[in-house]
Structure 1
Amino acid sequence: MSTQKNVLATAGEVKGSDALRMDAERAEQVVDALNADLADAYVLYHQLKKHHWNVEGAEFRDLHLFLGDAAGTVEEITDELAERVQALGGVPHASAATLQSEASVEPEDEDVYDIRTSLANDMEMYGDVIEATREHVELAENLGDHATAQLLREGLVELEDDAHHIEHYLEDDTLVTQGTME
Structure 2
Amino acid sequence: MSTQKEVRQEAGTVDENRLRLEQGKAEQIVEALNTDLAATYVLYHQLKKHHWNVEGAEFHDVHVFLGEAAGRAEEAADELAERLQAIGGAPIAGGKNLEEHAPVEPEDEDVYDIRTSLENDLEIYGDIIESLRDHIDLATNLGDHATAELLREILVEVEEDAHHIDHYLEDDSLVQ
TM bucket normalised to smaller: over 0.9
Query: What CA distance in whole angstroms lies between the structure 2 residues aligned with 1:124 and 1:143?
Result: 29
Higher RCO structure, 1 or 2 (CA under 8 Å, sep 6+):
2
Q: Which consecutive residues of structure 2, in runs of 5 or more, have no partner in the other structure?
A: none
CA contact (8 A) 2:14 2:30 kept: yes
Aligned to 1:8: 8
Query: What CA distance in whole angstroms lies between the structure 1 residues aligned with 2:169 and 2:58?
Result: 12
Q: Which moved more, 1:167-176 or 1:87-96?
A: 167-176
Show the 5 A alignment for 1:10-49.
10-17=10-17, 19-49=18-48
Query: What CA distance in whole angstroms lies between the structure 1 residues aligned with 2:98 and 2:127?
Result: 16
Q: Does 1:75 align with 2:64?
A: no
Q: Which amino acid aligns with 1:124?
A: E
Show the 5 A alignment for 1:3-152.
4-17=4-17, 19-152=18-151
Deviations 1:73-121 (A, max 9, x none): 0000000000000000110011111101101101000100000000000
**Identity rate, percent:** 69
Query: What CA distance in whole angstroms lies between the structure 2 residues aligned with 1:91 and 1:10?
Result: 7
Query: What CA distance in whole angstroms lies between the structure 2 residues aligned with 1:140 and 1:3?
Result: 39
Query: What CA distance in whole angstroms lies between the structure 2 residues aligned with 1:166 and 1:115?
Result: 11
Secondary structure of 1:133's partner? Answer: helix
Q: CA RMSD in A?
A: 1.3
CA contact (8 A) 2:38 2:102 kept: yes
Question: CA offset at residue 132 of structure 1?
Answer: 0.5
> TM-score, normalised to structure 1's length?
0.93
CA contact (8 A) 2:115 2:174 kept: no
Distance 1:64 1:102, change over 3 A: same
Query: What CA distance in whole angstroms lies between the structure 1 residues aligned with 2:16 and 2:131?
Result: 23
Distance 1:140 1:175, change over 3 A: closer
Query: What CA distance in whole angstroms lies between the structure 2 residues aligned with 1:123 and 1:70?
Result: 12
Aligned to 1:165: 164
Q: Which amino acid aligns with 1:12?
A: G
Query: What CA distance in whole angstroms lies between the structure 2 residues aligned with 1:108 and 1:3?
Result: 39
Distance 1:100 1:4, change over 3 A: farther
Distance 1:175 1:27, change over 3 A: closer
Q: Which consecutive residues of structure 1, in runs of 5 or more, have no partner in the other structure?
A: none
Q: Which amino acid aligns with 2:6?
A: N
Q: Tell me the matched-pair count.
A: 175
